[in-house]
Structure 1
Amino acid sequence: MRNKIGKKKDSIMQIEKSAYGTTTNNEKVIQFKLQNKGGIQVTIITYGGILTEIMTPDSDGRMDNVVLGFNSLEQYEKKNPFFGALVGRYGNRISKGKFSLNGTYYLLAKNNGENNLHGGLKGFDKVVWKVENVKESTSFASLKLSYYSADMEEGFPGNLKTTVTYTLHSNNSLDVLYEATTDKTTVINLTQHSYFNLSGNFSQLIENHEVEIDADKFVPVDASLIPTGELASVENTPFDFRKSKIVETAINREHEQLKIGGGFDHCWVLNGKGYRSVAKAHHKESGRVMEVFTDQPGMQFYTGNFLDGTLPAPNNGVYVKRSGLCFETQHFPDSPNQPQFPDTTLEPGQKYETKTTFKFYINS
């Protein structure tokens, strides 16, 4: 199965649909390629809503994939560090795998030491999403996916209907729109877990990327990577990315928080409110820049510290430590257990809605 969705020959935006494979549970997985006139191509599979490729040009016009991924569904089904996946119901960690709502305690899987991570044993990254809608026009191409998470799935209360819409625009920006409703009070914190390497060469480390994060504070963690409850100033620390700096100059500095995470694996408290530009990554040699926009209060900046060379990369390589950067826009980790943090509760009758954008361009 391989076909073009669009009918207009002069349409700037194109969507191509094809079969990707069958899961071990005999579920069919579909692949969609969204492409604009400028050549940006985004590939998404319905398993985990995973972004498997983002092809972007460098300053010489050469196209390369800038997100870490695998060549097969079989590899995505194996244990992996959430390459390209949609994460839920709750992205990041929940302390001791439990939280309370309205006096009721809910127990979750402890799949990250003593803590719950990224939704549990079978989070949103490990399910096949339904295709709700596919649209293309002269200015955008979009793919809307949905997943129905039943009450008490992975220990979370409420029947949760979630949709995520990926939209590629003609200006080389990729929107990720998250929407959800519930029939019972619950908690929710969705994010996108792509690992970026703007060099397009995954044998190169991301330490030579320049990064900028608009945040005056970050969220310190304890030895198990659970927030201490403090919101600490970035001033005079390696966590100060308010002005663009090369990752290597910060990540190798002496700091207790860097020792705990093996590098950066922390949530930044983003400045401002509403939908705004919050971060940039720049790879000088290729000229590629990625700018991140979101309406979320936080962003987990992760430098691939736990990649260890055991996972296969395309072209017969492997993914070693610091092969990729993550910019996971979200609420703060462990918010259900930290009442001083912004609230992640979703009530019946409310609608969860948040948008993040990744925009790609060449530094002139």
Structure 2
Amino acid sequence: MLNYDKKTVPTSLGNIELITLRSPDMEVKLTSYGAAIFEINVLDQCVTVQPKDLEDFLKSPFFYGKTIGRTSGRLVLPSYKINDKTYPISSFGGKNVKLHGGKNGFAFQHFQVDSIKVDTNQVSVVFSYLSQDMEEEYPGNLELKVIYTLDLNLGLLIEFVSKSDQDTLCNLTNHAYFNLVTEKETILDHHIVIHADHYLDINEEMIVKSKEKVYDKPFDFNQVSHLGESIKQMLDTPFRGFDHTWIFNRKNNQIEIDEPFSLVKLVVDTSYPSVVIYTHNFPVQHKLNPIKGHGIHSSFTLECQYEPGGIHHDYLHSGILLRNECYEHYILYRFIKKV
């Protein structure tokens, strides 16, 4: 009932491994480059959006499906401090920020495939990568494992396990883009619940300004909310949608997403304290799959993580991983069949 296949694919970036995990009703395609989700199919329907061409997928600045690190979100130039030592920050993805770990972040690295295991209830693959001391200006040699596990109940579990030989920054997530009814080309008819009382307000450069309450604002998703109506309220802002952080007020099943014509709804459970949701607010030049349009509001990310850029703010999680401390976090995407 559970199985997988693995094949080596030549690309302009070198050979990569393409691994497909399968259960009776779900299929997950993964790439070793970026330890990434290439595609998720549930009940024979694709529920993720990504470039149609593998080369475009691997190189895309939109980070489709990639593992993000060492830091998710934006660090702010010129520097940050750990233990009174200052570390420089080089710009990437903006004049005054380093986005998603930088030009040579984990999204653009070749991971090793350590193992693939099938048992009665699940099939899993372990990717690993060694990030060298001062790679992308982060201190310490960081050993990283990213573990994907597909179960028989339409669940995909992502586990991040890492350890560094120096105090460093570590804030890992996944950047898959979801759409439960891709035939519609957009996510505007989706409904969403996020159990969160606060969000992070940002400026035009997406840099955190303050922690604010969600109430009486487009960010209040504590009750079932129409995502399209909420996005509409953001169209006249520089963001043209959402690219914001919500801070959870509960420890499990923090996010629920549905669409009237979808076969499944999606529930997200995570050990992280917050999520960044980006609603694909800008177009892409390459062809996407399975949608055929320009990509605007075609999909959304569910980037569970520590609050991004927390090292710059006393009221947020710093994202510091202490020397020889084990970093362990998970994100569980659970698809639930609708009656």
Q: TM class, shorter-chain normalised?
A: over 0.9
Matched, 1:28 2:3: no
Aligned residue among 152, 164, 168 for 2:150: 168
Partners of 2:54 and 2:40 lie apart in 1 by: 17
Aligned residue among 33, 36, 39 for 1:47: 33
Q: Post-superposition shift, 1:247?
A: 0.6
Conserved 8 A contact 2:157-2:330: yes
In the TM superposition, what whole-angstrom CA distance separates every residue of 1:320-364 from its partner, at most 9, and x where no partner exists? 211111110001111111122123111112000001100112233
Conserved 8 A contact 2:234-2:241: no
List alignment gaps of at least 5 residues for structure 1: 1-11, 58-62
- Report the aligned-residue RMSD: 1.6
1:335 aligns to what? 310
Partners of 1:36 and 1:150 lie apart in 2 by: 36
2:103 aligns to what? 121
Conserved 8 A contact 2:49-2:290: no
Aligned residue among 231, 242, 246 for 2:226: 246
Matched, 1:94 2:91: no
Conserved 8 A contact 1:23-1:73: no
Aligned to 1:207, the other structure's residue is in SS state coil
Q: Post-superposition shift, 1:36?
A: 0.8
Q: Post-superposition shift, 1:205?
A: 0.7
2:330 aligns to what? 355
In the TM superposition, what whole-angstrom CA distance separates every residue of 1:2-60 from its partner, at most 9, and x where no partner exists? xxxxxxxxxx2101111232343xx32011111112x2000101011111111112xxx
Q: Post-superposition shift, 1:107?
A: 1.4
Partners of 1:88 and 1:343 lie apart in 2 by: 15
Aligned residue among 314, 321, 329 for 1:346: 321
Conserved 8 A contact 1:109-1:121: no
Change (3 A) 1:162 1:328: same
Matched, 1:268 2:241: no
Query: Percent of aligned positions with the same letter in both sequences?
Result: 27
Q: Post-superposition shift, 1:207?
A: 1.0
Aligned residue among 103, 106, 116 for 1:134: 116
In the TM superposition, what whole-angstrom CA distance separates every residue of 1:93-139 from its partner, at most 9, and x where no partner exists? 11125211112211122112210100001110111110111110120
Aligned to 1:250, the other structure's residue is in SS state helix
Matched, 1:75 2:56: yes
Partners of 2:225 and 2:285 lie apart in 1 by: 30
In the TM superposition, what whole-angstrom CA distance separates every residue of 1:292-326 from its partner, at most 9, and x where no partner exists? 000101100111112x1412113683442111111
Partners of 2:142 and 2:123 lie apart in 1 by: 26
Partners of 1:18 and 1:67 lie apart in 2 by: 21
Change (3 A) 1:330 1:96: same
Change (3 A) 1:254 1:41: closer
Q: Post-superposition shift, 1:79?
A: 3.5
Residue 21 of structure 2 aligns to which amino acid in structure 1?
Answer: L
Q: Post-superposition shift, 1:253?
A: 2.1
Aligned residue among 276, 279, 282 for 1:303: 279
Conserved 8 A contact 1:68-1:84: no
Residue 233 of structure 2 aligns to which amino acid in structure 1?
Answer: R
Residue 143 of structure 2 aligns to which amino acid in structure 1?
Answer: K
Aligned residue among 75, 84, 91 for 1:110: 91
Aligned residue among 120, 124, 134 for 1:152: 134
1:220 aligns to what? 201
Conserved 8 A contact 2:185-2:292: no
Change (3 A) 1:90 1:226: same
Conserved 8 A contact 2:231-2:241: yes
Matched, 1:18 2:7: yes
Change (3 A) 1:309 1:112: closer
Q: Which segment drifts farther, 63-72 or 85-94?
A: 63-72
Residue 326 of structure 1 aligns to which amino acid in structure 2?
Answer: T
Change (3 A) 1:97 1:121: farther
List alignment gaps of at least 5 residues for structure 2: none
Aligned to 1:231, the other structure's residue is in SS state strand
Q: Post-superposition shift, 1:254?
A: 6.2
Q: How many pairs does the alignment contain?
A: 338
Partners of 1:235 and 1:253 lie apart in 2 by: 14
Partners of 2:202 and 2:234 lie apart in 1 by: 16
